[in-house]
Amino acid sequence: MRRSISVYALLRCTLALLLCCALNATGRSQSRAQPIAKRVTLHKADVSLKEILKDIQQQTGVRFFYADRLLPPDKLTIDFTGVPLQEVLNSLLTSRKLRWEYNAERQTVELTAADAALSGEPVPFPMSGDGQTVTGQVQTTGGDPLPGAYILIKGTTRRVAAGNDGSFSLSGVPPDGVLQFSFAGYKPVEMPVNGQSGIIARLSVNVGELDNVVVSINTGYQTVNKERYVGAFAVLDSAQYHRRAGMDILGRLDGTVPGVSFDKKNANASASIQIRGVSTLQRLGTTSAPLIILDNFPYEGDLSSINPNDVESLTVLKDAASASIWGARAGNGVIVITTKKGRYNQPLQITASSNVTLKERPDLFYYPLINSTDIIDLERFLFGRGYYDNIINNTTSRPVVTPVVEILARQRNGLITDPEAAAQIDAFRNFDLRNDLQQYVYHPALSQQHYLSFSGGNAGMNYSVTGGYNNFMSDIKGGKGMSQYTLSSNFVFKPVKRLDIQAGFNFSNTIDRSVSFGLNTLYPYVRLVNDDGSPAAIPISVRKAYTDTAGGGRLLDWQYRPLEEIQLADENRTTRFARINLGLSYRLNSWITADIKYQYIDQVLSSATNNSPASFFARNLVNLYTNLSQTNANLRNPVPIGGILATSTSKSANHNARAQLNVNRRFGGQHQLAALFAGEFSERVSSTISNRFYGYNNDNGSYKANMDYATNFPTYGGLGGSAAIPSGNTLGAKTNNRFISVLSNVSYTYQGKYTLYGSARRDGSNVYGVNTNSRWKPLWSVGASWKLSEERFYKLSWLPMLTLRGSLGYTGNTNNSVSGLPTIRYSGTSTVTGFPQATPGAPNPDLRWEQVRIINYGLEFSALANRLSGSVDVFHKKAVDLISNVPVDPTRGVTSYSLNAASLKGSGFDLLINSTNIKGKIRWETNFGLSYARMVVDKLNNPNYLISNYINYGLYPFPGRVAYGLYSYKWAGLDPETGDPRGLYKGQATKNYVDIISDSVQNQGFSGSSFPLYSGFFRNTISWKGFALSANITYRLAYFFRKPTLNYASLFQSSSGSADYYRRWRQKGDEQNTDVPSLVYPIATYRDEFYAGSEVNVLPGDNIRLQDVRLQYSLDRAIWKQLPFAGMQLFLYANNLNLILWKKNRQDLDPDFSGGNGNPAAAPTPRTWTAGISVNF
């Protein structure tokens, strides 16, 4: 409590200091005739007037606008110390026949010639009642506003400056006049009025003046000028975001932003993202996904509910100074999603876009498998050795055997002759399941995204309304796809001058009817169609020879026909998403604003799987529980004949509220103070429920009530012994997670080149322990930046901009799966007692938040007349108090106990370089990114270090090793006499596989990280007139993967396996040329497990690949006057090309695809081709 009081006292003192500073500073607007409350200290020798103005701009924050031809070429020597800005300007400009005009509200100075008539400057234009008023907005080509841009009536001196949102209103404009638009760092544009009352001007960047472009960072709490931002961040702006058309939101960060890496082995998009390496032990319950911020608040729902076309930009916050403002949930980094909004004084702007994506069929032949003939010969060999005898003679569960084994069994039993058996078997040799999959199952899939947006505003309001329709075709023939409707709106009203009231609403409805296609039977000669083209039946779960005749015609059809099941599939997964956000912003004065924001999100995910009476699922369960000896219908068919409907519903409701005070004050000419103080509350309530209805009739919705789930019924033929009917009725836990936080940050800038930053936050949650100190977590950060290039002693003319920055701070992680209180988890109904059962959880009253400390050093630079620019960041990170499960004595009623008992530490760097290689009619730009992150397990309280627990991919921590380590059994080659694989145990070669897999992890092999330590991109864009061609090359370095290989036990069981089979050891001497063990029968225990997990199958994953290519053509009415619209863009985008340009391993394997081990349906991610159009009106 004492610590809490000191934090509040600090906040009060800081606020009081701000108020005192404000009262002592001059806040009135200045004109040229009045003193300007800014002073200049500047000492320069032999420099141009342009350089001096740039220095004054950096020091005072006042921006200068002028035509380059107005500035004299002579060099100047100046010596100003604390001189008022107006005196400096008079001294510099008056003698050079330049006049200046200061706009206090916009903090700008415009330079014009003192004698406009003689200098060729526009002559004054007399105001006329015949003129009209034109309103509009000045934007970048990406749609971002350009505040302070100038709008001039050509041939006059009549001009205005655009507002903070880029909007303008200019009166006295002739209907046939021409407007000139200009902004520092951008190419000027002229646009004819042609009687229009609303105009939107889009300016493209002038690379030679990039140093004057203002870039802002959106942290989710505030928008901060990049010039005074001390944290590490990365922005995927509107142009780069929309370059990757047809993709999901977060996937667009892959290979485009330094410091962000994707685990290609994880299909879950958000869970696979790492920002500067892992910060928690995710497999123990804490999510490793970064915190997602959607328009000011954390977002915990399904991001697929958000239309990707509604997104304007993505900002990644990487260090403590950036992310600590989000507190104890920001330990894995923060991704801020900013959606599109309307702007004040913006004429109606309509944008319509549409794109179609073609996803290729999966390449099922990518990974080589054993062909059908050799599988059949292997089955004959195994049959002769008696491998299948136990299966064939099993008259209880009657396991599945392949058609060849069925034929061999009938031949042995004398039911068919040897020639008949040979002919039937040979008929299978030319079949390949993959051909049937390609022909009858998979096809190229089309997806569509259609989008329409309206935005605009006037002086009293702005608005944005968007609608979208997305449709995704299934890549399975006959399968149903997914469709989505989205609606988004945002309105801001200004009922009085200082008050803004905001209201937004988002809604989406997604209906997913797609089905996956899976085969339990993998033998390569399986046929999906009969000779007459009808769907073929294949064995599944029970031997086909038995189901063909079971019941003597009194059972339902017991055959499984995969192609028929696709047609019968009736799945419906619906996601309904609604978001309401409200805001109120009141400007107390020119430098203090008070904000109140509220957001409510309601998300319902419901699914219904209707297994019709004709589906195998329904027929199989009915048959399995049929008792033909009973005459009572309830006992004869305890699972009633009919359909089976399975439903589930997951609901979540999120409430977020925040009160915030923003301060932004310049004073004394050289000082700028920015701060925010906020308190916020969030609550998430979620629940799940699922049900199953037997005997379901889809026509009238009826089903059998009062099902008996407690009785163990005999299964038909004893296939499953006696078993209770699966109920499918579960009531999931209802969770209620609440967080409350108080926070503040303060940024102080002196002379425009020295910035100090500090933030503090305290989070509270109901998740953690009984002790109050464990429920609350204080976090903080400090940082500073220094514009070194602004110092007088700085003389590197080839490097005109150099800024140094650094930060230190703490973020955290939370684990909602654990609690400081005793817990009981409901786990269904006991099949023994028929009563509900539950599992206890051990309490830990001292359980507390995880904590991540980050130290960051960085620099930003521009060189060679701004044709080369970029940034470098180096970081050190340490995560402590990580929650891990510690084994305990089972006699205590639990097997493990959650403790804050682990830690991680690591370091790395991010490098970004942007260059303009050629500029002119042909323009060539390059973006290069390189990241390195290595996290090591520093401490772990877990005595279970068996090597067998560390073989799989994932986070299997071991002290002193990289977090995502790839461990293996040490390899000692093949036995020259038998071809058996050998390992090392206590330094000796051995074939005692039990000893090897029971060994300690530190005694066996360790290759390195299974997650790339280095990653990056190399993107080039060439543009000419309206054409632009860009290509992105990505690379992932310093990691290892385990290649899929031969497993004899799996091969014998599934009759499918890796083509490594052809490289197996067959005779003495083969061990010199192969590492694939010999085929032996019977197989020694753990022989396959040892070989698959041995280091001989670990390969370096380093690779460079061409990831995507985009070609686009843009039309703009500024150039094509006859266009009926403002602009149009046509594009073609190819993604997932996965054209490997170089790889370190010499085998023909993609390191990012490690599947395919005997699975004929496994394939790498298919290529996609997207074509689209976007039109602006």
Closest to 486 (Cα-Cα) out of 505, 459, 467, 472 = 467
Does residue 312 or residue 205 have the better pLDDT?
312
pLDDT at 222: 83
Closest to 995 (Cα-Cα) out of 1092, 1086, 1097 = 1086
pLDDT at 117: 31
Four-residue CA torsion sign, 201, 205, 210, 213: positive
**Residue 121 binned pLDDT confidence (cut-offs 50, 70, 90):** very low
Closest to 148 (Cα-Cα) out of 159, 156, 134 = 159
Q: Are the C-beta atoms of residues 806 and 781 closer than 8 Å to each other? A: no
Strand 132-140 relative to strand 198-203, pairing: parallel
What is the per-residue pLDDT across 82-94, written as a single tens digit (0 to 9) for each?
Answer: 677 877 887 787 6
Distance CA 59, CA 668 (A): 12
CATH architecture classification, 31-121: 3-Layer(bab) Sandwich (3.55)
**Residue 4 binned pLDDT confidence (cut-offs 50, 70, 90):** very low
Closest to 411 (Cα-Cα) out of 448, 384, 433 = 384
990 has pLDDT over 70:
yes
**Residue 936 binned pLDDT confidence (cut-offs 50, 70, 90):** very high
Average pLDDT score over the chain: 84
29 has pLDDT over 50:
no
pLDDT at 301: 83
**Residue 907 binned pLDDT confidence (cut-offs 50, 70, 90):** very high
Distance CA 577, CA 572 (A): 16
Residues making up the chain, counted from first to last: 1177
pLDDT at 873: 96
532 has pLDDT over 50:
yes
**Looking at 430-544, which runs of residues are DSSP E strands?**
445-457, 461-472, 482-496, 499-512
Distance CA 425, CA 40 (A): 94
Specify the range with the lowest mean pLDDT, choosing from 183-192, 716-725, 1150-1159. Answer: 1150-1159
The pLDDT of 446-455, averaged and rounded, is: 94
What is the per-residue pLDDT across 1086-1140, written as a single tens digit (0 to 9) for each?
Answer: 999 999 999 999 999 999 999 999 999 988 776 777 778 878 899 999 999 989 9
The pLDDT of 865-884, averaged and rounded, is: 90
**Residue 185 binned pLDDT confidence (cut-offs 50, 70, 90):** low
H-helix or E-strand containing 422? helix 418-426
H-helix or E-strand containing 1093? none
596 has pLDDT over 70:
yes
The pLDDT of 144-154, averaged and rounded, is: 80
pLDDT at 731: 78
pLDDT at 590: 83
**Looking at 1025-1081, which runs of residues are DSSP E strands?**
1027-1037, 1040-1042
Query: According to the CATH classification, is domain 212-343 in 2.170.130.10?
Result: yes
Looking at the DSSP assignment, which residues form a beta bridge with residue 692? Answer: 646
What is the per-residue pLDDT across 355-368, written as a single tens digit (0 to 9) for each?
Answer: 999 999 999 898 88
C-alpha dist (Å) from residue 893 to 768, 841, 1009: 22, 9, 37
3-state secondary structure 141-169: CCCCECCCCEEEECCCCCEEECCCCCEEE
* Tokens representing residue 687 in the block: 């629940």
Residue spans of the domains in the chain: they are 31-121, 126-208, 212-343
Distance CA 103, CA 85 (A): 13
Q: Are the C-beta atoms of residues 1155 and 1138 closer than 8 Å to each other? A: no
Instruction: Extract long-range pairs of 829-832: CB within 8 Å, 24+ residues apart.
Output: 829/709, 829/710, 829/727, 831/712, 831/723, 831/724
Does residue 206 or residue 956 have the better pLDDT?
956
Does residue 1073 or residue 203 have the better pLDDT?
1073
Specify the range with the lowest mean pLDDT, choosing from 14-23, 317-326, 833-842, 982-991. Answer: 14-23
What is the per-residue pLDDT across 408-424, written as a single tens digit (0 to 9) for each?
Answer: 999 999 999 999 999 99
Count the Cβ atoms, other than its own, within 10 Å of residue 34.
12
Mention the CATH class of domain 126-208.
mainly beta
Looking at the DSSP assignment, which residues form a beta bridge with residue 786? Answer: 754, 804
380 has pLDDT over 70:
yes
